[in-house]
Amino acid sequence: MEVSAQTSDLEQINSWKDEVNSTRESLRSMRSQLEQLSISKTDDESLAQIEHFQNQFICQEEKADELRHDLKQSARKISDNGKPLILHDDRPVDDFDVLQDRMHTFRKLYNELRDEFKAFSAFS
């Protein structure tokens, strides 16, 4: 890989890390909102929705943590000019296209969850 391509990839990865960090903050905020909603919503349907969102937030936070870690690993690998790293068989960090696809999926799932939660919390 050329140095300019490495620099470009590293800049993109750093941008993704910033986006993942912002998403993590947003998830924390939504979780806090959900806690407030759980105080006032006590009917069975609302409680089921609250549990659904709790589970979804946990899953999304876990994916954010994994992706953040893998983006850091990928950035380190590029910065260290390909020195060997411990790679996860199920989460490759050395393939930019795979990371790009994972980031796209992460973004899509987060946006869907955020929109679904906004609709739920609007009826409060």
Question: Is residue 78 a contact partner of residue 10, using CB atoms and an 8 Å limit?
Answer: yes
Q: What is the DSSP letter of 90?
A: T
Task: Give the burial string for 50-86 (b: 16+ CB within 10 Å, else e).
Answer: beebeebbeebeebbebbbebbebbbebbeeeeeeee
For 11, the domain range is: 3-122
Q: What is the DSSP letter of 61?
A: H
pLDDT band for 2, please (50, 70, 90 cuts). very low
DSSP run (H or E) holding 11: helix 3-40
88 bridge partner residues:
91
The yes-or-no verdict on residue 96 having pLDDT over 80 is yes
Share of the chain above pLDDT 70, in %: 84
| pLDDT of res. 77 | 83
What mean pLDDT comes out for the span 61-86?
83
The alpha carbon dihedral of 76, 82, 86, 92 has a sign of positive
pLDDT band for 88, please (50, 70, 90 cuts). low
The yes-or-no verdict on residue 101 having pLDDT over 90 is yes
Number of structural domains in the chain:
1
Phi then psi for residue 61, to 5 deg, are -65, -40
More confident residue, 7 or 124: 7
Closest to 30 measured CA to CA, from 124, 122, 99, 118 = 118
